[in-house]
Amino acid sequence: EVQLVESGGGLVQPGGSLRLSCKASGFTFSSHGIHWVRQAPGKGLEWVSYIASSTTTIYYADSVKGRFTISRDNAKNSLFLQMNSLRDEDTAVYYCATSLGWFQFDSWGQGTLVTVSS
Amino acid sequence: QSALTQPPSASGSPGQSVTISCTGTSSDVGGYNHVSWYQQHPGKAPKLMIYDVSKRPSGVPDRFSGSKSGNTASLTVSGLQAEDEADYYCASCAGINNVLFGGGTKVTVL
């Protein structure tokens, strides 16, 4: 069974940093591209970033470009999102999701809440 | 780029059908056959229901179907059941490095 478990969320002040993790199991992690998708409280879904299986291809949404960095460790079946210069509008539940190709999201984790507030 | 347009709400009685529309442009919905639909119950993660416009992942009931005409995609839920009450989001590839989501539709089973 595919399982994705996010961690690392919490309360951070504007301008601060946070590193999210996503631990994968139940599938061949190194063969799959993975996305981060976020959802602000009471709002819809917003794509954040994508990393290919071999890390050769990385994409970011314009809203996070230059502030967030996606990475992965295939040996540890783990995905990461380093978030710097955080803003109030980055407050959201962050989900990791496996890629089905063409920006379609197959399996999802349960999410981790990031709150940016002073 | 703007989000895809979905009606905020839709409803139907048990056993009836409900159809949700998702309208974009020729640069997203109309330009790619990679529209997907997600079901989200309160407090839960989204679940993939339809991909590539009309394909169902393993385990998704055949009561769920998808289609597309021009710049508008649609999700139809036939034979509505109580557990179908949820928020539904569409998404479309919008280029090699972008995806757009709809604003979401709350489906109520009367």
Residue whose C-alpha is closest to residue B2's, from B104, B89, B103: B103
Question: Chain centroid to CA A101: how far?
Answer: 17
DSSP label at A26?
S
- Nearest CA of chain B to the CA of A13: how many Å? 25
DSSP label at A14?
T
Give chain B's end-to-end CA distance (angstroms, integer): 35
Question: Residues in chain A with pLDDT < 70?
Answer: none
Alpha helix stretches (DSSP H) within chain B: none
Give chain A's end-to-end CA distance (angstroms, integer): 40
Within 8 A by CB and 6+ apart from B61, the residues are none
**Could you tell me if B60 lies within 8 Å of chain A, comparing CB atoms?**
no
Beta-carbon separation of B48 and A104 below 8 A: yes
CA-nearest residue of chain A to B106?
A44
Contact B73, B67 (CB under 8 A): yes
Q: Tell me, what's the pLDDT at B97? A: 87
Q: What is the pLDDT along chain B (110 residues), one digit of tens a residue?
A: 678 999 999 999 999 999 999 999 999 999 999 999 999 999 999 999 999 999 999 999 999 999 999 999 999 999 999 999 999 999 999 988 899 999 999 999 99
**Could you tell me if A33 lies within 8 Å of chain B, comparing CB atoms?**
no
Sign of the torsion angle spanned by Cα atoms B25, A65, A60, A20:
negative
Convert B21-53 to b/e letters by CB count within 10 Å (16 or more is b).
Answer: bbbbbeebbbebebbbbbbbeeeebbbbbbbbb
Task: Say how many residues make up chain B.
Answer: 110
